A = this chain, B = another copy of it.
Amino acid sequence: MGLGLIGGSLLRRLGATGGACGYDADPAARAAAVEAGLRSVPTVEDAVSAADVVFLAAPLPAFAQLVPAVAKATRPGTLISDVASVKVAPRELVRTHANGLRYVGGHPMAGTERSGFAASDAHLFDGAAWVLCLDPDTDLGAWLELARLVTGLGCRVVPTTAEEHDGAVARISHLPHLLADALAAGAHDNLARKLAAGSFRDGTRVAGTRPDLVTAMCDGNREAVLDALDGLLARLAEARDALRAGDSVRPLAEEGYAARQRWVGFGMGGSTVELDARAATLRADLLRLGRSGGHLDEVGDGVLLGWRPAP
**Taking beta carbons and an 8 Å cutoff, which residues of A are in contact with B?**
109-112, 128-129, 131, 158, 160, 164-165, 168-169, 171-173, 175-200, 202-211, 214-215, 218-219, 222, 225-226, 228-233, 235-237, 239-240, 243-244, 246, 248-250, 252-257, 259-264, 266-267, 290-295, 309
How far, in angstroms, from A18 to B187 measured CA to CA in the complex? 39
Residues from chain B with Cβ under 8 Å of A256 in the complex: 180-185, 204, 207, 211, 214
Tell which of B200, B208, B292 touches A172, judged by Cβ atoms closer than 8 Å: B200
Q: State whether B196 touches A236 (Cβ < 8 A).
A: no
A178-B249, A233-B233, A292-B190 are contacts. A210–B257 as well, Cβ < 8 Å? yes
Q: State whether A184 touches B129 (Cβ < 8 A).
A: no
A sample of 19 more A-B contacts (CB under 8 A), given A165-B191, A184-B263, is A111-B197, A112-B198, A129-B197, A165-B195, A172-B186, A176-B199, A176-B203, A180-B256, A181-B260, A183-B232, A183-B256, A185-B255, A186-B232, A193-B267, A199-B206, A203-B205, A207-B256, A207-B259, A233-B237
Least CB separation from A223: chain B residue: B243
**A288 → chain B closest CB, angstroms:** 11
Least CB separation from A308: chain B residue: B190
Q: State whether A183 touches B187 (Cβ < 8 A).
A: no
Residues from chain B with Cβ under 8 Å of A199 in the complex: 172-173, 176-177, 180, 205-206
Q: State whether B206 touches A203 (Cβ < 8 A).
A: yes
How far, in angstroms, from A260 to B210 measured CA to CA in the complex? 11
User: Which of A225, A237, A252, A260 has the most B CB atoms < 10 Å from its CB?
Assistant: A260
Residues from chain B with Cβ under 8 Å of A209 in the complex: 257
A186-B171, A236-B233 are contacts. A191–B164 as well, Cβ < 8 Å? yes
Tell which of B173, B246, B295 touches A194, judged by Cβ atoms closer than 8 Å: B295
How far, in angstroms, from A121 to B173 measured CA to CA in the complex? 33
Residues from chain B with Cβ under 8 Å of A250 in the complex: 211, 215, 219
**A216 → chain B closest CB, angstroms:** 10
**Chain A interface, >50% SS class:** helix
Residues from chain B with Cβ under 8 Å of A253 in the complex: 177-178, 181, 211, 214-215, 218
Residues from chain B with Cβ under 8 Å of A240 in the complex: 226, 229-230, 233
How far, in angstroms, from A290 to B202 measured CA to CA in the complex? 24
Residues from chain B with Cβ under 8 Å of A252 in the complex: 178, 181-182, 185
Residues from chain B with Cβ under 8 Å of A255 in the complex: 181, 184-185
How far, in angstroms, from A79 to B98 measured CA to CA in the complex? 76
Residues from chain B with Cβ under 8 Å of A236 in the complex: 178-179, 182, 229, 232-233
Tell which of B164, B183, B267, B293 touches A179, judged by Cβ atoms closer than 8 Å: B183
User: Which of A129, A171, A262 has the most B CB atoms < 10 Å from its CB?
Assistant: A171
Residues from chain B with Cβ under 8 Å of A215 in the complex: 248-250, 253
